[in-house]
Copies of this chain bind each other. A is one copy, B any other.
Amino acid sequence: MPDESGTEPLTIRRAQHEVDTTILAQGGYWPPLANLARLFEECGELARALNQVYGRKLVKSGEMAVTAQEELGDILYVLLALANDLQIDAEAALAQALAKAHRRSLQAERGSE
């Protein structure tokens, strides 16, 4: 039987629920525009990490890969928090984006025939 420590692959739905639990435990949701500012703060930290690896400042790549993972996780966390607060089903949102991408690749195929 799956437990919370992650022996079963995490579904997006379950991830939204777990994010909700931690946010309620910390006193509740921030206003949407404050959460958005936090999203940009986290994205900015990912930008910094990627710039150190793929931009001009070269740093040890092992150390940076760890940071990029941490920043990416933080973005995912804030994004799911925003989804919860806006009552958005993140799985449905992603399914919509995947469907758009599928349509684009079908168009690209037809275009190159």
- The complex is assembled from copies of this chain, and their number is 4
Bound: A5/B78 CA distance, A: 25
Check B11–A9 contact: CB distance below 8 A. Answer: yes
CB distance from A106 to the nearest CB of B (A): 8
For A106, give the chain B residue with the smallest CB separation: B25
A residues bordering B, Cβ < 8 Å? 3, 5-6, 9-15, 18-19, 22-23, 25-27, 30-34, 36-48, 50-51, 53-56, 65, 68-70, 72-77, 79-80, 82-83, 86-98, 100-102, 104-105, 108-109
Q: List 21 A-B contacts (CB under 8 A).
A: A6-B91, A15-B94, A22-B102, A22-B104, A26-B108, A30-B56, A31-B55, A31-B56, A34-B54, A36-B37, A37-B47, A38-B51, A40-B43, A41-B51, A44-B48, A69-B96, A70-B93, A70-B96, A72-B82, A72-B90, A79-B79
